Amino acid sequence: MLFDMKLVTMGENRTGGGAMNVREIAKLANVSIATVSRVINRPEVVLPETREQVLAVMRKVGYSPAPHAGGGTQPKAVGLLVPDAEDYLAIRLMAGIESVAARREHAVYLCSTKGGTDRERQAIAGALEQRMRGLVIYTNTLSAEDAADLQRRRVPFVLVGRSEAAPRHNACYINYEEGGYRMVRHLLELGHQKFLLLCEAGSPNIEARMWEGLCRARRELMTGPGGDRVLHAEGGSIRAGYDAAREVLAGERPDAVFASSDELALGLMKALQENGVGVPGQIAVTGFTDSPVAGVVTPELTTVEQPTHRLGMVAARMLFDLIDDESLLDGTPQEIVLLPKLKVRNSCGNRKPINTLFE
């Protein structure tokens, strides 16, 4: 289920004929949208003078909040915030959360933030305005300040993914370092020596973890630096991987490219093949998702399987624990890390007479 983005982020007044909304109330009262939302939904956490300032504006313009806001029964629903609702991993995460929420007779509302900090804050404010019982936030960019604000307002939430806020709040994520380590160790054992790590620009945490895994594999196999480098793609799509091939072909070519997603790997592989570069004969290509298409392309894509459906289930269970027992909001944060699996196919140069290897 998708949030009505206008309703969620704008707080449209639907109880009367007027067009006034939360954004306009905030502007007139010279406060943030989040503050107006708190006045409506959690007035006790707002300073009395600020609360009265906002309420005075509401009275002056005749603004009436939506029926579910500012009292009444809280809906049996939780929110999921993701950077891109069409992303394969986000879809799998949603499915995992729904499998747990359905047993609790809760709906799950999905909101796409497009990876922007401002959109992320608006989406959080909108979800609170809709009186969601809790939030799962799939992000690598949520700031410690924004997370602390949610905690101060006693909002149950769980982070999916590592961010600067993760060590201080309940979080679950996939071990990208271990995934990078397993993949690079396998590539080294196949004889590849010089690696290029292809990552989406704007994902520094994932990039850093994968690079750490690469370095750990080299240390364990006692191989020196092989001219490894990082290339940033402008996005995480197949097209972004295709476009990144220009830089791969222009400079000194690596033995293997390890992409941070299957989409990037597939786009790169297509471009290399169109330019007469054999995969894996001249450059091995691997990914990090295990999307459905990975096993049907030619050559089949070696990748790292991310247990995203299970991650969604873990996140949902953590969230409902917080919802059921408010005292846990003041307890020591939990951090749950899931290990990925290496899935070996042919694009890495594997020649073993089996279809897929699991590690």
Domain that holds residue 270: 176-306+342-358
CA 227 to chain CA centroid, nearest Å: 30
158/239 same-domain check: no
CATH code assigned at 78: 3.40.50.2300
Does an H or E element contain 78, and which? strand 77-82
Q: Which two tokens stand for residue 47?
A: 């300073």
Flag whether pLDDT at 200 surpasses 70: yes
Q: What is the pLDDT of residue 12?
A: 36
262/132 same-domain check: no
Q: Average pLDDT of 321-334?
A: 88
pLDDT digits (tens, 9 = 90+) for 24-58: 888 899 998 778 877 876 676 788 888 889 888 98
* pLDDT tier at 165, thresholds 50, 70, 90: low
Residue 277, domain member (yes or no): yes
Counting Cα atoms < 13 Å in the Cβ hemisphere of 309 gives 6
Mean pLDDT over each residue of the chain, to the nearest integer: 85
Residue 220, domain member (yes or no): yes
Flag whether pLDDT at 4 surpasses 70: no
Please identify, among 137, 169, 201, the residue that sits at the C-terminal boundary of a domain.
169
Q: What is the pLDDT of residue 353?
A: 61
As a whole number of angstroms, the distance between CA 278 and CA 44 comes to: 65
Flag whether pLDDT at 319 surpasses 80: yes
Q: What is the pLDDT of residue 121?
A: 84
Give the Å distances, CA to CA, from 2 to 69, 86, 128: 19, 11, 15
Please identify, among 169, 203, 238, the residue that sits at the C-terminal boundary of a domain.
169
163/223 same-domain check: no
Place of tokens 């067009």: 19
* Preceding peptide of 299 cis, ω within 30°: yes
Helix crossing, 176-189 with 204-220: angle to 10°? Answer: 40
Please, where are the H alpha helices in 277-339?
308-324
88/39 same-domain check: yes
Q: What is the pLDDT of residue 263?
A: 95
Q: What is the pLDDT of residue 260?
A: 95
Q: What is the pLDDT of residue 73?
A: 53
Q: Tell me the β-bridge partners of 173.
A: 337
Number of domains in the chain: 2
Sheet architecture: strand order including 341-344: 303-305, 341-344, 357-358
Please, where are the H alpha helices in the chain?
5-10, 22-29, 33-41, 48-61, 88-101, 117-129, 144-152, 176-189, 204-220, 238-250, 262-274, 308-324
Residue 337, domain member (yes or no): no
Flag whether pLDDT at 320 surpasses 60: yes
* pLDDT tier at 86, thresholds 50, 70, 90: confident
Flag whether pLDDT at 311 surpasses 60: yes
* pLDDT tier at 71, thresholds 50, 70, 90: very low
Residue 117, domain member (yes or no): yes
Please identify, among 113, 144, 169, the residue that sits at the C-terminal boundary of a domain.
169
As a whole number of angstroms, the distance between CA 291 and CA 190 comes to: 23
As a whole number of angstroms, the distance between CA 233 and CA 207 comes to: 12
Q: State phi, psi for 87 to the nearest 5 degrees.
A: -65, 140
Q: What is the pLDDT of residue 223?
A: 85
339 and 178 in contact (C-beta within 8 Å)? Answer: yes
Q: Average pLDDT of 286-304?
A: 94
pTM for this prediction:
0.74
346/208 same-domain check: yes
110 and 80 in contact (C-beta within 8 Å)? Answer: yes
- Between 119 and 191, where is the model more confident? 191
158/261 same-domain check: no
Q: What is the pLDDT of residue 142?
A: 78
Residue 336, domain member (yes or no): no
227 and 252 in contact (C-beta within 8 Å)? Answer: yes
Of 42, 309, 318, give the one whose Cα is nearest residue 169.
Answer: 318
33 and 23 in contact (C-beta within 8 Å)? Answer: yes
